[in-house]
Amino acid sequence: MATFIALEVVNSIGGDFDNGEQLVNRDNVVAVQQTADGLLKLLTNTPTSTQNEIEVVVSTSQSGAVVSPVMTSGLITKAFNYALTANPGGVKAKVFLGKDDNGNQMYIRNVVFS
């Protein structure tokens, strides 16, 4: 049985159809790489597909322009790694983003599969 991590997208910059829960097969994720304060890449092992990278945009604003969170460590990486290693006994684990170093709540604003 496949297990999934759930990403809750809020007011997507990619379009309304991206809003809501996006699922990623946990078994296909081979690496988590935070490349900027508000940007995370999930690398997957899906060689039969052209989609081997998932880009996640994180913001401290739920609407309007994306505002990158402020952090001195990989807070987004930690949240995703926690979801990847969780054992909820079910079929999915949610990614819960906390607050950045300035105390602002972080939100997932976009998920791009490429």
What was the pLDDT predicted at 89?
62
- Rounded Cα distance between 38 and 84, Å, is 19
What was the pLDDT predicted at 51?
67
Model pTM? Answer: 0.82
Backbone φ, ψ for residue 28 (5° rounding)? -90, -10
What was the pLDDT predicted at 18?
82
CA dihedral of 65, 98, 69, 58, whole degrees rounded to 10: -50
Record the tokens describing residue 65, joined without a space.
Answer: 């322009």
What was the pLDDT predicted at 42?
92
**Residue-by-residue pLDDT tens, the chain, 114 positions:** 568 888 999 988 877 888 889 988 888 899 999 999 999 999 988 766 666 889 999 999 998 889 999 988 889 999 999 888 887 665 677 888 999 999 999 998 988 877
CA dihedral of 9, 12, 15, 21, whole degrees rounded to 10: 0
What was the pLDDT predicted at 50?
66
- How many of the other CB atoms lie within 10 Å of CB of 35? 9
Q: Are 28 and 46 in contact (CB under 8 A)?
A: yes
Record the tokens describing residue 85, joined without a space.
Answer: 């290693």
What was the pLDDT predicted at 36?
92
